Amino acid sequence: MSQPKYLTGDKAGIDEFLSRFDVFLFDCDGAYDCKTPTPKPICVSSIGVLWSGDYLFDKVPETLEMLRSKGKQLVFVTNNSTKSRADYKKKFDKLGIPAKVEEVFGSSYSAAVYIARILKLPAPKNKVFVLGESGVEQELDAEGVQYVGGTDPSFRRDIEPEDFTKLADGSALDPDVGIVLSGLDFHMNYLKLATGFQYLQRGAVFLATNVDSTLPMAHSLFPGAGSSSAGLVKAFGKEALALGKPSQAMMDAIEGKFQFDRSRTCMVGDRMNTDIQFGIEGKLGGTLAVLTGVSSKEEFLSEGAPTVPMAYVDALGDLVA
């Protein structure tokens, strides 16, 4: 495997690199670096490609504008399933990142696109039972996918003895549900878990928006979407197909939406084992690592590194510096 090319300060190298691509996929998920779990985890603030916590990295808007001025298509990829693309756009606005709703590609939208454009179960048995927040529902709506569960208040209650009977005999189930979709659910409960498990036992397709084990929040780590679906995985004995990074089902969904040429597409990210791996496995034309995030230069430059990007910069803004 060849060594990744270092582009910071190399104007000719940058121009040549950018000319190879029409589409850039940007990782948008920050992460905390948490160490020493006893007695209290010490976590540095959210780090990533575009921002760190509430701090936008230097020259990020200029870089994005430069890419747009060259006619590049930008796609902002995030595993956060609780927010819809419209919700995410608000976050971008707040941070000062110029972006359009159509450029945001979250794992909830990824799941909706996968269900509507790739899976395409025949009606009527193509309804979705949702475990998750309104972000999932908004994106299913956007793709015209019918669903039950989700934020429906009738599921936000304790399980009662008669629920066991009605779930077991199927009278509490919607016969048209053919898919169970699990995302990060701050309102998880046993009733939803048991309902989802009944649908799975009856043959429903098992999908997850993403399976990140943790969620960085408030300078600490909280249970992530993978933690929300873990109960179903344990009961059912099979993993869900994840529609978030690094699952290639997300790449297929992005392609289903943007119809891009993979050989002319570049993944930009800070994590070797998720972002860069995602681009390599997706057979994209290129990958670009930024060093403002989780993975260090040593990690992918070392002898026998499992994942090596095509090129790297110290920070995204170096592309216009």
| Binding site residue list | 245, 270
Q: Toward its own copies, which CB reaches closer, 15 or 160?
A: 160
Pairing of strands 31-35, 5-6: unpaired
Say if CB 211 and CB 225 are below 8 A apart: yes
Which of 12-30 are b and which e, b meaning 16 or more Cβ less than 10 Å from the residue's Cβ?
Answer: eebeebbeebbbbbbbbbb
Q: Toward its own copies, which CB reaches closer, 185 or 275?
A: 185
Q: What region, left, alpha or beta, does residue 150 occupy, with left being phi > 0 and alpha being psi -120 to 50 degrees?
A: left
Q: Toward its own copies, which CB reaches closer, 37 or 304?
A: 37
Say if CB 286 and CB 17 are below 8 A apart: yes
H-type helices in 114-215, by residue range? Answer: 134-142, 161-168, 190-201
* Span from 5-13, 50-58, 137-145, 195-203 in contact with its own copies (CB under 8 A): 195-203
**Site membership for its own copies, residue 320 (CB under 8 A):** no
Least distance from C-beta 203 to its own copies, angstroms? Answer: 4
Which two structure tokens, joined as six digits, stand for 278?
């995602």
**Site membership for its own copies, residue 130 (CB under 8 A):** no
x-or-dash string of contact with its own copies, 139-178, rule CB under 8 A: -------------------xx----xx-xxxx--------
* Span from 4-12, 108-116, 139-147, 191-199 in contact with its own copies (CB under 8 A): 191-199
**Site membership for its own copies, residue 273 (CB under 8 A):** no
User: CA 280 → CA 150, 207, 264, 269, distances in Å?
Assistant: 34, 23, 13, 12
Interface residues for its own copies in 9-48 (CB under 8 A)?
34, 37-41
Q: In the chain, how many H helices and how many E strands?
A: 11, 18
x-or-dash string of contact with its own copies, 214-233, rule CB under 8 A: x--xxxxxxxx-xxx-xxxx
x-or-dash string of contact with its own copies, 233-262, rule CB under 8 A: xxx-x-------------------------
* Interface with its own copies (CB under 8 A), residue from 120, 201, 263, 273: 201
What number of chain residues touch its own copies (CB under 8 A)? 48
Give the integer Cα–Cα distance in Å for 45 and 196. Answer: 35
**Site membership for its own copies, residue 61 (CB under 8 A):** no
Q: Toward its own copies, which CB reaches closer, 8 or 214?
A: 214
Give the integer Cα–Cα distance in Å for 181 and 242. Answer: 9
**Site membership for its own copies, residue 213 (CB under 8 A):** yes
Q: Known binding site for Mg(2+): residues?
A: 270
Least distance from C-beta 64 to its own copies, angstroms? Answer: 30
**Site membership for its own copies, residue 54 (CB under 8 A):** no
Give the integer Cα–Cα distance in Å for 256 and 44. Answer: 36
Active centre residues (catalytic): 22
Least distance from C-beta 285 to its own copies, angstroms? Answer: 34
**Site membership for its own copies, residue 187 (CB under 8 A):** yes
Collapsing DSSP states into helix, strand and coil, what is residue 265? strand
CA atoms within 13 A on the CB side of 297: 13
Q: Toward its own copies, which CB reaches closer, 104 or 131?
A: 131
Give the integer Cα–Cα distance in Å for 271 and 27. Answer: 9
Collapsing DSSP states into helix, strand and coil, what is residue 131? strand
Collapsing DSSP states into helix, strand and coil, what is residue 250? helix
Give the integer Cα–Cα distance in Å for 239 and 112. Answer: 19
What does the binding site for its own copies look like in residue numbers (CB under 8 A)?
34, 37-41, 158-159, 164-165, 167-170, 185-190, 193-194, 197-198, 200-203, 213-214, 217-224, 226-228, 230-235, 237
